[in-house]
Amino acid sequence: MSILVTGGAGFIGSNFVLDWLAQSDEAVINLDKLTYAGNAANLASLARDSRHHLVQGDICNREQVRALLQQHRPRAVVHFAAESHVDRSIDGPGEFIQTNVVGTFSLLEEARGYWNTLEGNVKQDFRFLHVSTDEVYGSLEANDPAFSETTAFSPNSPYAASKAGSDHLVRAWFHTYGFPALTTNCSNNYGPFQFPEKLIPLMILNALDEKPLPVYGDGLNVRDWLHVRDHCSALRAALARGNPGETYNIGGRSERNNLQVVHGLIAAVDAQRPSAAGSRQRLIQFVKDRPGHDRRYAVDCSKAERELGWQAQTRFEQGLADTVAWYLSHQEWVNQVRSGEYRQWIEKHYQPAEKHHS
């Protein structure tokens, strides 16, 4: 038995693959385009693991996807592959439409074609798990109730709109074709292997280097924060117990505004790597706000807790301290990402294993 994971060298995808293989002998076929955010070095510990097959490729390449499905006969597809950085979507929305909308369509069609060749229990048990974001719901005011699975979509960035489009496709493939797909919409993830353009790793690394800590606007934009290991456990639960056609919101029940996050990170960095110049609070620098910056996200994850038997386990302050400790102890990974050397990592380290596997 095996599962096909798309985007499994990215931040959340690689954490999921590592987590999956730590708990299961079920093989993972990992299809990743290995663009700037897909880092094969995240999977270094699996370089000689015969249960992991890393394949460089694009979900828009339907022939490649079809060949992988026919060759490996997976019992499920877990779809992470996406462009995900809001700022990049503002600068260049085309890539987001191509990967998130056209790519998801292509993957759905190939997976549906494969599913139609299955029979009996194998067909009945097949699942397509689409991993999405709470940003599809838009923005909340301070006193609004949290997003639920019935909240109307109201995306405000090209990224959020492209993910909303992909969510609609997944829903339609279930309702039109009976295709056994389900969707999870998660809040902001953090933890190991996160590319340092996102808030938490950017602040950690800038703080360590005594560089300015840029905070958008007034710093009072609120997000719900979810440790990536809690997200991975939710995805395993959704795959095992989720019902086709359903949507499950996955959150950490940890709403914080950006200033609170930055202050918490500074405290954790100062505690683990004190600065001779004193507290790094002095490095906070307010910068011009991002266009269309959503004010608040909050996630009601009670449906996932009730129906999947899942609950986030990581207290936010502990999660921040653990994340700071991870970046401090993985300086080589950080240096590779910052220098761009990680883009050559697969040629140096992974090709022999992949050739050996296949």
What residues act catalytically?
A: 134-135, 159
Contact predicate 111/78, CB 8 Å: no
Structure tokens at 205: 């690394």
In angstroms, the Cα distances linking 57 to 54, 269, 336 are 9, 38, 22
Whole-number Å distance between alpha carbons of 239 and 349: 31
Which H helix or E strand runs over 214? strand 213-216
Whole-number Å distance between alpha carbons of 46 and 31: 15
Phi and psi for 27 in degrees, rounded to 5? -65, 155
Whole-number Å distance between alpha carbons of 158 and 37: 18
- 3-class DSSP assignment, residue 4: strand
Whole-number Å distance between alpha carbons of 181 and 305: 20
50: Cβ contacts below 8 Å, ≥ 6 apart: 27, 357
Return the CA Rg of the chain. 20
Contact predicate 298/147, CB 8 Å: yes
Q: Which of 157, 154, 158, 131 is nearest to 144 (CA)?
A: 154
